[in-house]
Structure 1
Amino acid sequence: MTVPPTAGVLAGMRDLLAAPDAQGGAIWRLTPVARQLDANLIRLLPGTLGTSHVEPDLDVLLCVLAGSGELEIGGARQELEPGSVAWLPHGMARSLSAGPDGLVHVTAHRRRPGLTIGNAAAVREPATGGEPACMLGRVCPDCDHPAEDAAARFCSRCGSRLPS
């Protein structure tokens, strides 16, 4: 068995956390193409209020690295601080809000396979992992700017289409 060239240490979280925090959104993403896992380092700016949503297919593991905030899941509110680890089961309503110092967290979940062109009459298999989880559907894929409006379809900074 050969080890892929990107296996092993992929990033230094200390360096990523020390970078200027003027911009929220995805700071780092797991990028090797041949993978079964998706992981993201997400920065929510101070005071960011989460919008409740349901991820129908994916369980998500969330680990807080810096800042503070609040997780609302299944109608219950829980405080988040560095070192907090939360399991977000699929099918359950959730929202994530940042405290006065912002919130930086890592999410990990199964990868959802990419979109393919196929026969419209074909039966679609259930999703088996991947993007988007949490607020990632609101992060511009081109400039990483987070949309403040959950209903936004285009990035207010660069005009790119947001993930749907």
Structure 2
Amino acid sequence: MTAPETESAAAPPAAPPRPVRSQLPVLAAVALGGGTGAAARYAATLGWPAGTGGFPWTVFWVNVAGCAVIGVFMTVTDVWPVHRLLRPFFGTGVLGGFTTFSTFTVDFRQLAGTGHLPVALAYLAATPLAALTAVWLAASATRRVLTVTGGRSS
């Protein structure tokens, strides 16, 4: 039997966690942004309610549009310096509250459970495909624009 390894061979201790107080501005930014984004999404569903058994177009387009804006926003903030709370507020908060993949899954389950399986399967395939395509196209187009303009704002 061999002796256990000594303490010197162990991994270095992990860095201590940041104090909660220092994260309060970030938490507040995410919460404020999340409420704003969720309210905007709710307003969209009130303006364009989905019919029973039909394709949930409002949630579909909210997710696609939100992902496109995420593609633009993250690309721009990689190039230009921004306030440290902008990404938590707008990226995580507003856009995270606006897009709604939890409602997407509820919509799918309701459609499938009420006998609208073809619509449910179309929605299941189309939503992530369109959302991923939107973020990729938006980020790619933004990179091209920033390359042409040299990353300068007009």
- TM bracket (short chain): under 0.3
* Greater RCO, 1 or 2 (C-alpha within 8 Å, sep 6+): 2
TM-score, normalised to structure 2's length? 0.27
The structure with the largest helix share of the pair is 2
TM-score, normalised to structure 1's length? 0.26
The structure with the largest strand share of the pair is 1
Higher gyration radius (CA): 2
